[in-house]
Amino acid sequence: MASREQQVLALIREDPMMPQQVIATRLGISRSAVAGHIMNLSNKGFIKGRGYVLSDASFISVIGGANIDIHGRSTQKLRDFDSNPGDVHIAAGGVARNIAENLARLGADTRLISAVGDDHHGQVLMRLSREAGINVQNVLQIPSATTSTYLSVLDDTGDMLVGINDMSIIDDLTVASLRPMQAMLKQSSLIVLDTNLPTDTLAWLTETFSDTPIFADTVSTAKAPRLRPHLQHIHTLKTGTIEVEALMGQEARTKAQLVKITKMLHNEGVTRVFITRGEKGVFFSDNGKYGTQKVQRSSNDILNAGGAGDAFLAGLAYSWLEDWTLQESVQFSMAAADVTLSHAGTSNPALSLGLVQCAMETQHA
């Protein structure tokens, strides 16, 4: 699906009765162009009928952080306590928002629940998210609040050395603020959340919507432990080595340690576990069926590794709704992460279902 088609479809999902002229005004294009995009979407099967009836009513709700990301990457080997020449890149980010963008670019109806300020960064985040095809109707806009900002320093290989986040606005995602969305969330085919959320909110979401498959990202070592009391409600857990160690209080470096820690997670109620391990690939377990997927890249050009995990989880969510096998899901998700690595931001605006499938073919050629 083309980028502009994603934007048109996102607006139709927000309001199926939205006139073509309103869509045109929102996107800054002509009405005839909108009509052409709608015809293409109809031909592709995304919408049907004169009233823009969606061909698939299922949607994914993604809840958590939305940031402005500022990435600084050194063009040479980093020198501590010194000024380093490099490139600085500013883009929309945040774990939940990145997952939502990747899902939207894959063609999924994706609804983001987050919080932004009414400042310039908040306006930019909302605009860029809409342009990516995300439904942002349920994003809270908090007056006089500061939109989250995430600052990271990358080495010359694209790996993050340190990150600093200013995300206090996420504390406004309280149970009281989300309760009016309860009916909508109940209709979700899948809920994805990250551990940036306040502990009370995590508890309410996981308990209230335990009948809906919940996918969770542990985000960081500092925030991963927030999920421990709620593991019985988590269907799919995506985490990293040091994050799962912080979550479970066990080492997860060797294969025996990985098997042990995933058994612990299964015993606490998690159905599927995916532990990303950088260059070592992904260790995964589905109810005790263990496996490892090695890294297979379609390109050696890595510009930013910071959003690969978000793309990986988006791939898992997409493939779950498509009812793919475990191996198909892992391969697809790894390819989505591969596509993301080749962009300076934490999300690749070129990501699409076709591009991910092409990356899969290249990897296995």
pLDDT at 22: 80
At residue 165, φ and ψ (nearest 5 deg) are -120, 140
Q: In terms of domains, do 124 and 23 share one?
A: no
Mean pLDDT, the chain, as a whole number? 90
Q: In terms of domains, do 69 and 198 share one?
A: yes
| Cα 302 to Cα 159: distance, rounded to the nearest angstrom | 9
| Cα 149 to Cα 357: distance, rounded to the nearest angstrom | 33
Q: What is the DSSP string of 315-357?
A: HHHHHHHTT--HHHHHHHHHHHHHHHHTSSSSS-TT--HHHHH
Q: In terms of domains, do 204 and 333 share one?
A: yes
Instruction: Assess whether pLDDT exceeds 80 at residue 55.
Output: no
CATH assignment at residue 214: 3.40.1190.20
Q: In terms of domains, do 19 and 156 share one?
A: no
What total number of domains does the chain contain?
2
| Cα 331 to Cα 196: distance, rounded to the nearest angstrom | 27
From 14, 35, 57, the end of a domain falls on 57
Q: In terms of domains, do 42 and 177 share one?
A: no
At residue 264, φ and ψ (nearest 5 deg) are -60, -45
Give the domain range for residue 118.
58-363
* Count of CA atoms in the C-beta half-sphere (13 A) of 41: 29
Q: In terms of domains, do 38 and 74 share one?
A: no
pLDDT at 62: 98
Q: Find all residues with CB under 8 Å of 186, minimum gap 6, and list them.
A: 209, 212
- Structure-token match 């928002």, residue found: 97
Q: In terms of domains, do 189 and 319 share one?
A: yes
Residue 71 — pLDDT band, cuts 50, 70, 90?
confident
pLDDT at 135: 94
- The model's pLDDT over 298-317, given as tens digits with 9 standing for 90+, comes to 555 676 666 899 999 999 99
- The model's pLDDT over 126-177, given as tens digits with 9 standing for 90+, comes to 999 999 999 999 999 999 999 999 898 988 887 888 889 899 999 999 999 9
pLDDT at 1: 66
Q: What is the DSSP string of 51-92?
A: TTEES----EEEES--EEEEEEEESS---TTS---EEEEEEE
Residue 352 — pLDDT band, cuts 50, 70, 90?
very high
Q: Which of 2-6, 244-248, 277-281, 346-350 has the lowest mean pLDDT?
A: 2-6
Q: In terms of domains, do 40 and 81 share one?
A: no
Q: In terms of domains, do 82 and 31 share one?
A: no
- 334 or 2, higher pLDDT: 334
Q: In terms of domains, do 5 and 140 share one?
A: no
CATH assignment at residue 52: 1.10.10.10
pLDDT at 286: 94
